[in-house]
């Protein structure tokens, strides 16, 4: 069976028009992306609490409950970026996306992504990928890996279309591990 986002074989979901796919995040929801800081703990906690159970399950590979305070404390200490709303309303500054990169100390790093459900599919994940790749370079990371459910097409597309070469792609009991070689273009 042809796999979605296998490099050249990606076919967009027919339910989503090409125009919709290419549009940046809805201008009504302008965002800015910046490095995560320790003071983001409360905002990050709110962000994960507001995600659907489905998205949390995909992000944390099984866990559907919002992360506990200790996990949030760990996440804000982990290098990464957040996407925050730029708004004149009460949600100004709210976190709507998070990408982290956990360095392994020997040139590798594990990445994880999450985007607010209402903004998924509008290009924010791709913007977070650009930011995390720059972050990885600054951290001296050469290989970036991510674990995802095999049916997680958007995450697979994000990785395969990141512009970096695929170093490996392994599947074990429903979980796919994709590793990118950050030193080689795709």
Ligand X SMILES: CC(C)(COP(=O)(O)OP(=O)(O)OC[C@H]1O[C@@H](n2cnc3c(N)ncnc32)[C@H](O)[C@@H]1OP(=O)(O)O)[C@@H](O)C(=O)NCCC(=O)NCCS
In the complex, least distance from residue 67 CB atom to ligand X, rounded to whole angstroms? 13
* 3-class state of residue 137 by DSSP: helix
12 vs 50, which CB is nearer to ligand X?
12
- Torsion sign across C-alpha atoms 134, 136, 140, 141: negative
In the complex, least distance from residue 51 CB atom to ligand X, rounded to whole angstroms? 7
Q: Are 43 and 88 in contact (CB under 8 A)?
A: no
In the complex, least distance from residue 34 CB atom to ligand X, rounded to whole angstroms? 17
The CA distance from 173 to 152, in Å, is 14
In the complex, least distance from residue 151 CB atom to ligand X, rounded to whole angstroms? 10
Q: How far from 17 is each of 11, 21, 47, CA to CA, in Å? A: 11, 6, 28
In the complex, least distance from residue 37 CB atom to ligand X, rounded to whole angstroms? 21
Residue nearest to ligand X (CB): 125
79 vs 125, which CB is nearer to ligand X?
125
In the complex, the residues that contact ligand X under the rule CB under 6 A are: 10, 12-13, 21, 55, 58-59, 112-115, 120-126, 146, 148, 152-155, 157-158, 161
3-state SS, 68-103, equals CHHHHHHHHHCCEEEEEECCCCCCCCCEEEEEEEEE
The CA distance from 123 to 68, in Å, is 28
8 vs 88, which CB is nearer to ligand X?
8
95 vs 124, which CB is nearer to ligand X?
124
103 vs 123, which CB is nearer to ligand X?
123
Output the six-digit token pair for 16: 């989503």
Q: Are 12 and 153 in contact (CB under 8 A)?
A: no
């Amino acid at each position: 069976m042809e796999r979605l986002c296998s490099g050249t074989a990606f076919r967009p979901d027919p339910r989503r028009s090409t125009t919709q796919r290419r549009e940046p995040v809805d201008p009504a929801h302008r965002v800015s992306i910046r490095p995560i800081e320790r003071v983001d703990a409360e905002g990050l906690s709110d962000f994960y609490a507001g995600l659907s159970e489905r998205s949390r399950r995909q992000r944390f590979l099984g866990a559907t409950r919002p992360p506990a305070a200790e996990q949030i404390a760990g996440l804000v200490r982990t290098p990464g970026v957040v996407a925050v709303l730029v708004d004149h309303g009460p949600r100004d500054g709210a976190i709507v996306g998070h990408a982290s990169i956990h360095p392994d100390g020997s040139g590798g790093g594990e990445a994880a992504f999450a985007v607010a459900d209402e903004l998924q599919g509008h290009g924010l994940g791709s913007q977070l990928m650009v930011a995390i790749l720059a972050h990885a370079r600054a951290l001296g990371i050469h290989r970036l890996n991510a674990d995802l459910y095999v049916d997680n097409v958007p995450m697979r597309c994000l990785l395969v279309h990141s512009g970096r070469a695929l170093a490996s792609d392994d599947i074990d009991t429903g979980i796919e591990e994709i590793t990118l070689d950050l030193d080689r273009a795709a």
